[in-house]
Amino acid sequence: MATALRIVAALAIAALILVPLFGSEYLISFAFTTFLFVGMAYGWNLISGYTAYVSFGQISFFGIGAYAMAILVAKLSWPWPFAALAGVAAAALLAAPLGWAMLRLRGPYFALGMLGFMQVLYMVASAWSGLTNGGEGIYLPPVRSLRPVYLASLLMVAAGLGVTSMIDRSAFGLRLRSIGEDEIAAEAMGVDTTRAKLAAFVLASIFPAMAGGLYAYRLSYVDPSSAFPASYEVQVILMAIFGGAGTVWGPLVGGVLLTGVAEVLWARFAEMHLFLFGLIIVIVLRYMPEGLVPLLRQRAARRSGPVLPKEATG
């Protein structure tokens, strides 16, 4: 079983790396978009899936990544990979003090705080026209080939999956889960909750920042509304909870399945897709609150029958 899985995984990775060599522009572009969302879903999952801190403002970091890319490439003519990394660094540097302030707040306070923070960044991006050109936006040089950014987005997904699976099995992951279960109890057990959740928050900011940078590079244009797209926030959260928040595979499964759905929705009901996303969020929470991955796992466990302890089977 394990060997078969490994072979499948190796084949999948090989296929994904070969996509840019043989795939059509459309396929590459579709896969690129999918990976951006999967990566962001992994980011959201780290802070809001494992702990109880639901953030509705992760798109703030997306905007920082997007503006870092635009300013560094268009105004200072940096090569794009450095600009993307600089965006990530900027987001992480901002996330540290922001997390220090915000993570003292729980439940609705944290949720609304992050929502408000995103609005403040939007306001700053609109008002500070010396840096961002305000509402006019910044134009980047047009992209000649999608292949390099495609590989970067693939790398981001691999990082998301790798980091999450490491955390999931580590003591750090256990600390995060204990914060999600009952923060006061976790503290009483000696967990340094402030440190754990701050680390998760900073780590979680990296993914949307990277995605924002790559997105801006691909779009060749950044203005406040494309840098802080509220609809992406909805989509990312939906993907994480649909796949299964607080699981290793959830963001990947949810992201891949729903980007496909989003593509269809976008093509057929472009005007209504936000409504449908909202509706799916509500339906998922109502009927499948754990998400798809835990549900499938339970089904599989039930099919293979009750697992008896070794002593009992003798």
Partner 1 sequence: MTPHIFLQLIVNGIMVGGVYGLMSLGINLVWGVMGVVNLAHGDFIVAAGFLTFWLFTRFQVNPLLAFPAGVAMGFAIGVLTQKFLLGRVPQDRGAVKTSLLMTFGVSYMLINAAQLLFGNEFQTVMFLPGSWRMLGLDFAKSRALAFLVAAAISLLLWAFLRFTFIGRAIRAVSQNPEGASVCGIDIDRTRVVSFGLGSALAAAAGALLVTIFAISPAMGTGYTVRSFAVTVIGGLGSFPGALLGALILGLSEVFTGYLASAQIANGIAFLLFLAVLLARPRGLFGRAVL
Least CB distance from residue 262 to partner 1, whole Å? 13
The span of 139-147, 194-202, 258-266, 271-279 binding partner 1 (CB under 8 A) equals 271-279
Listed as own residue / partner, the contacts of 177-184 with beta carbons closer than 8 Å and 24 or more positions apart are 177/50, 177/51, 177/246, 179/50, 179/51, 179/52, 180/50, 180/51, 180/52, 180/246, 183/52, 183/106
- Rg of the chain in Å (alpha carbons): 20
116 in contact with partner 1 (CB under 8 A): yes
139: helix, coil or strand?
Answer: strand
CB of 180 to partner 1, least distance (A): 8
Q: Which of 54, 96, 163, 257 binds partner 1 (CB under 8 A)?
A: 54
CB of 246 to partner 1, least distance (A): 10
Kindly identify the residues of this chain, within the stretch 128-187, that bind partner 1 according to CB under 8 A. 181-182
Nearer to partner 1, 220 or 225 (CB): 225
**Among the candidate windows 117-125, 145-153, 191-199, 306-314, which touches partner 1 by CB under 8 A?**
117-125
Secondary structure class of 144 (helix, strand, coil)? coil
Contact of 56 with 115, CB cutoff 8 Å: yes
x/- string (CB under 8 A) for partner 1, residues 23-52? -----------------------------x
Stretch that binds partner 1, among 15-23, 236-244, 253-261, 300-308 (CB under 8 A): 236-244
Residue of the chain from 68, 91, 111, 204 that contacts partner 1 (CB under 8 A): 111
Segment interacting with partner 1, rule: CB under 8 A, options 7-15, 226-234, 252-260, 302-310? 226-234
- Token duo for residue 19: 């996509």
- 280, 264 in Cβ contact below 8 A? no
Give the residue, chosen from 56, 207, 215, 228, that forms a contact with partner 1 under the rule CB under 8 A: 56
Calculate ∠ Cα 106-107-113, nearest 5°: 75
Rounded to the nearest 5 percent, the helix, strand and coil shares of the chain are 80, 0, 20
Buried b / exposed e over 296-309, threshold 16 CB at 10 Å, is eeeeeeeeeeeeee
**In sequence order, what are the beta bridge partners of 139?**
221
Q: What is the DSSP letter of 308?
A: P
Query: In angstroms, rounded to a whole number, what is the distance separating the alpha carbons of residues 180 and 177?
Result: 5
Interface residue with partner 1 among 82, 109, 139, 266 (CB under 8 A) is 109
> Is the Cβ of residue 181 or residue 263 nearer to partner 1 in the bound state?
181
CB closer to partner 1, 122 vs 249: 122
Strands (E), the chain: 138-139, 221-222
- 139 or 275: CB nearest partner 1: 275
> Residue 101 interacts with partner 1 (CB under 8 A)?
yes
Question: What's the distance, Cα to Cα, between the start and end of the chain in Å?
Answer: 24
Binding site for partner 1 (CB under 8 A): 52, 54, 56, 101, 104-109, 111-113, 115-117, 119-120, 123-124, 126-127, 181-182, 230-231, 234, 237-238, 241, 271-275, 277-282, 285-286, 289
